[in-house]
Structure 1
């Protein structure tokens, strides 16, 4: 049986699927370093990329969690916008900044639970449900801000709060360390703990998960709660970065987050969403955008790049999922089950 699998899927194909995206990131960095030798391969540029892409990376990791169970959380961009203006509103209103951050992060997790309940127990498609709840969040953002920016007073924001984003760790932006910690935590959760394995089973085949007794609704709520928790953390970090509350800023992060989550499912563990793959995908996008930006590309190239990347990511994610299932079916000696790509994307 192993021989049959080897014939169907040569080792070279497996290596390309697993390490193709990291190789692309390295190739892009090399190409831009050759084309822009004075500006691109510098510590300042690397630090800038790490700093600027830390929040998109966190949001992409948050989006990855529901994707593991076959669902999408389209409210993350709106949640990010609300979390960041609410953090600033509380701090400007006199709350101690640690308490304000804790309240916003807890609120993000609670809203994630609400999303999960609406999707799993309300039996509403996750696209529709989270688009609706996201619109409600956007309305709350407008209500809190009155459509205007939140600007701190003459004293500014507490230094301890702004240091959440502005400080350095081991000579690099501290925000990059948050991405490393979250990636390690999600890798442990998804790859080594029963909770993550159950989520993968649910995302691959809901019927099979039901037959073996996995409480699919409960784990679906867990996935959305995890996504909401990460969004709350990202919103706090965005507030520390921006230092001014912009009621519409969160929407700009939605598309890159899903590009990272979907494109990441084609790398490291092809055919399944995974934390390491998501980070690699964000790195590819970050290097590409930084490179074309330094080459003097027009502003419209950014949405063009993100939109094209999303189409490629969805296509590659579906292909990787189907290929993985066919390989598993060949190894098990039976026909493949339902596709492992997110159910709402089929």
Structure 2
């Protein structure tokens, strides 16, 4: 007969299960809690259908951009050109429709394919020129901003008296099943990324590359190629987000894209602490964007000043990075009993103290 587990072992198991539950579903629970709190404080305005529709509509573009940023982050890379690319894409699609007279479907397709190409260029610069992704994408993003200024000559692109085609603006303004259509774009993109990252070899390769590039090369994964694919996928999503932004604003503003950069990274990094703690994942990003949307909508209705939004985003980013690092350390930390000693079937050296072992 096997010996009964000791009380310390049971406490250790209970603590691990509790920590796993909090790490996986804690942010989702926080979203529900925030919604309930704001609903109690603002019963006439917050828990209404109009407010929910407004949140879904206003946060759709940041959500799409955050999902695009999830792809290269899964491979351990950062794409700081997202905001610049978004600004260029939305200006370019309006330029093609308003100034060049292109049919709007062709203009949208061209911009999305252009986003794919720009993302692939980012990947090539990072992987084959061996430039750190922070520096490389900051440089290419600055070049995108220069192209945006060249196209607009520093001024806005304003449609003529007839305005933009109704079918084009309907990409953002339409409703489906009583909800804003962009919300369904976000859900569709989440499903696609979840399938790609969690169920297909492509996603598994990206996670291996992101966790240990050297091991990925040893087992035969073409790391350079898959990282280029990751940046190209991100660029495709950014191009699509630019089309939505153009349909929303209906005026080409050369500087608007940078406002979306910080919220996108806050969503991805905060999302990496939930659902699949320790790694960027589509469902986690969706939950993170939701809790940010609820929080911003609530403090906005409470009469917060204009500076509250960047303060909220910046503070949440710091918390997200801290939680992501803590989650990663917890995943790498070996199991111990309540006494702090490693279990009997684990060598003492694996316990990992300050002088060596797992971080």
**Does TM, normalized by the shorter one, top 0.5?**
yes
Conserved in 2, the CA contact under 8 Å of 1:5 and 1:327? no
Conserved in 2, the CA contact under 8 Å of 1:63 and 1:261? yes
C-alpha distance after superposition, 1:279-318 (max 9, x if no partner): 1000111000000000000001111001101111111111
1:273 partner SS: coil
Mapped to 2, the partners of 1:59 and 1:333 lie a distance apart of 44
Report what 2:235 is aligned to.
228
- What's the CA shift for 1:319? 1.1
Task: Map 1:260-279; keep pairs closer than 5 Å.
Answer: 260-279=267-286
| Structure 1 residues 216 and 35: CA distance shift in structure 2, 3 A | same
Aligned residues: 335
Mapped to 2, the partners of 1:277 and 1:51 lie a distance apart of 19
Task: Map 1:7-156; keep pairs closer than 5 Å.
Answer: 7=12, 10-92=16-98, 93-156=100-163
- Over the residues paired in the alignment, what is the CA RMSD in angstroms? 2.0
- Using the size of structure 2 for normalisation, the TM-score is 0.90
Counterpart of 1:198 (choices 205, 208, 221) is: 205
| Structure 1 residues 80 and 259: CA distance shift in structure 2, 3 A | same
Conserved in 2, the CA contact under 8 Å of 1:88 and 1:239? yes
Report what 2:265 is aligned to.
258
Segments of 5+ residues of structure 2 without an aligned counterpart are: 337-341, 353-359
- What's the CA shift for 1:325? 2.4
Find runs of 4+ consecutive structure 1 residues off by over 2 angstroms: 3-9, 325-337
2:335 aligned with 1:323: no
Greater RCO (CA < 8 Å, at least 6 residues apart)? 1
Counterpart of 2:174 (choices 167, 173, 186) is: 167
Mapped to 2, the partners of 1:214 and 1:298 lie a distance apart of 50
Mapped to 1, the partners of 2:334 and 2:101 lie a distance apart of 58
- What's the CA shift for 1:207? 1.2
- Using the size of structure 1 for normalisation, the TM-score is 0.93
Counterpart of 2:253 (choices 246, 249, 252) is: 246
Mapped to 2, the partners of 1:180 and 1:6 lie a distance apart of 39
Segments of 5+ residues of structure 1 without an aligned counterpart are: 338-346
Mapped to 1, the partners of 2:335 and 2:283 lie a distance apart of 22
Mapped to 1, the partners of 2:57 and 2:122 lie a distance apart of 30
